[in-house]
């Protein structure tokens, strides 16, 4: 029988992870609040808040709409302190709180923005992967605009490939008709891996006020309700790419069972987003529960199940 320490080990290319559980960008800040709840060193990796060239205050309020047990809609709009402040204070703080692999989530409004932020991160040793978000539905003239055609997705990938030696993972949007062609275009343009999915475009209406709940009208739907969509898209891409690059599966994951399902669909690791917001202990809970579940399922090592479906 495999040593219990190794049961959960997985890898994203050359980056080794203690376990496949990663808090998703935008739901974990730079770790400071969560570190008051638990020791972050139990996590497989951490993806920090989407960072842009300049600081951003985000969208007008209200920018969150609850959707009962199914999840939530957000239109935060990439609120972040900007790359210089991240390099000066936020990243060093995260590095003090956490000794494992850091994933830098990057966003932009032009190709040059993406290049600038990636270049600024290039010499930061503890950043092991750059996750390029081309899928934010909550900002105009940027974010998702790059993620909805294969040509634009490839252009961003090629551009960031030129300015950094770090592994580049492109974070894909589900708001497309053909996810496989976009995934393929990114890999052909030099992506080392993919992360999918970001939020699904959604809306809620306040029936008493006859107004959209979210000031921005539409937002990104995340949480439990999107799990089957995320699973289907991860599987479509995994089958089409046949192991060419590792995939981080994301969307609606809340339990150890969901992690196993997502890895069977083709993910080498998973990101957990909205679930952190209603249960800050969800990640350590899943990490504790996973070995028990694997034993029940007679799985010796979690890596053995990747893409088995």
Ligand X SMILES: Cc1cc2nc3c(=O)[nH]c(=O)nc-3n(C[C@H](O)[C@H](O)[C@H](O)COP(=O)(O)O)c2cc1C
Distance between CA atoms of residues 95 and 256, nearest Å: 27
Decide: is 250 part of the binding site for ligand X (CB under 6 A): yes
Beta carbons within 8 Å of 167's beta carbon, 6+ residues apart: 12, 13, 14, 15, 128, 129, 130, 192, 193
Q: Specify the stretch interacting with ligand X by CB under 6 A; choose among 81-89, 157-165, 248-256, 257-265.
A: 248-256
Q: Select the span of 54-62, 146-154, 183-191, 249-257 touching ligand X (CB under 6 A).
A: 249-257
Question: Least distance to ligand X from the beta carbon of 295, Å?
Answer: 25
Tokens of 140: 């105009």
Stretch that binds ligand X, among 23-31, 53-61, 92-100, 177-185 (CB under 6 A): 23-31
DSSP state of 280: T
Query: Judged by CB, which is closer to ligand X: 118, or 226?
Result: 226
Q: Which of 42, 67, 118, 136 is catalytic?
A: 136
280 part of the interface to ligand X, by CB under 6 A: no
The token pair that represents 167 in the structure block: 């592994």
Measured CA to CA, the distance from residue 257 to residue 284 in angstroms comes to 14
Identify the residue among 7, 15, 19, 26 touching ligand X (CB under 6 A): 26
For the window 33-72, what string marks contact with ligand X as x by the rule CB under 6 A? ----------------xx----------------------
Listed in sequence order, the DSSP H helices in the chain are 4-7, 83-85, 91-97, 111-121, 150-163, 179-188, 227-241, 256-265, 275-278, 282-296
Q: Which two tokens stand for residue 246?
A: 């590792």
* List 10, 25, 235, 268, residue binding ligand X (CB under 6 A): 25
Q: Does 171 sit near ligand X (CB under 6 A)?
A: yes
Identify which of 24, 13, 9, 18 has the alpha carbon closest to the alpha carbon of residue 250: 24
- Kindly tell me which residue out of 173, 199, 255, 268 binds ligand X, with binding defined by CB under 6 A: 199
Any catalytic annotation for residue 308? no
Whether the Cβ atoms of residue 130 and residue 248 lie closer than 8 Å to each other: no
Catalytic residues: 136
User: Site residues (CB under 6 A) for ligand X?
Assistant: 24-27, 49-50, 74, 76, 78, 105, 133, 171, 198-199, 222-223, 226, 250-253, 272-275
């Amino acid at each position: 029988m495999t040593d219990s320490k190794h049961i959960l080990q997985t890898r994203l290319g050359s980056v080794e992870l203690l376990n496949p559980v990663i808090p998703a960008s935008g739901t974990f800040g730079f770790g400071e609040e969560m570190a008051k709840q638990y020791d972050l060193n139990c996590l497989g990796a951490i993806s920090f808040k989407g960072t842009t060239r300049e600081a951003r205050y985000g969208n007008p309020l209200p920018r969150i709409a609850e959707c009962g047990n199914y999840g939530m809609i957000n239109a935060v709009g990439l609120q972040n302190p900007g790359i210089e402040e991240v390099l000066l204070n936020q990243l060093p703080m995260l590095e003090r709180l956490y000794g494992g692999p850091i994933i830098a989530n990057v966003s932009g409004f032009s190709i040059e923005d993406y290049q600038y932020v990636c270049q600024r991160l290039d010499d930061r040793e503890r950043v092991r992967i750059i996750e390029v978000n081309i899928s934010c539905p909550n900002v105009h003239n940027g974010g998702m605009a790059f993620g909805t055609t294969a040509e634009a997705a490839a252009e961003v990938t090629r551009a960031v490939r030129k300015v950094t030696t770090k592994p580049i993972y492109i974070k894909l949007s589900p708001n497309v008709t053909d996810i496989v062609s976009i995934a393929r275009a990114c890999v052909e343009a030099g992506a080392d891996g993919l992360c999918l999915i970001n939020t699904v475009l959604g809306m809620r209406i306040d029936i008493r006020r006859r107004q959209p709940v979210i000031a921005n009208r539409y937002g990104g739907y995340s949480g439990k309700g999107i799990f089957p969509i995320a699973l289907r898209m991860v599987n479509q891409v995994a089958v089409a790419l046949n192991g060419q690059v590792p995939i981080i599966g994301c969307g609606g994951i809340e339990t150890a069972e969901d992690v196993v399902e997502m890895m069977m669909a083709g993910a080498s690791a998973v990101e957990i987003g909205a679930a952190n917001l209603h249960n800050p202990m969800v990640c350590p809970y899943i990490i504790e529960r996973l070995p028990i579940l694997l034993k029940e399922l007679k799985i010796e090592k979690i890596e053995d199940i990747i893409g088995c479906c």
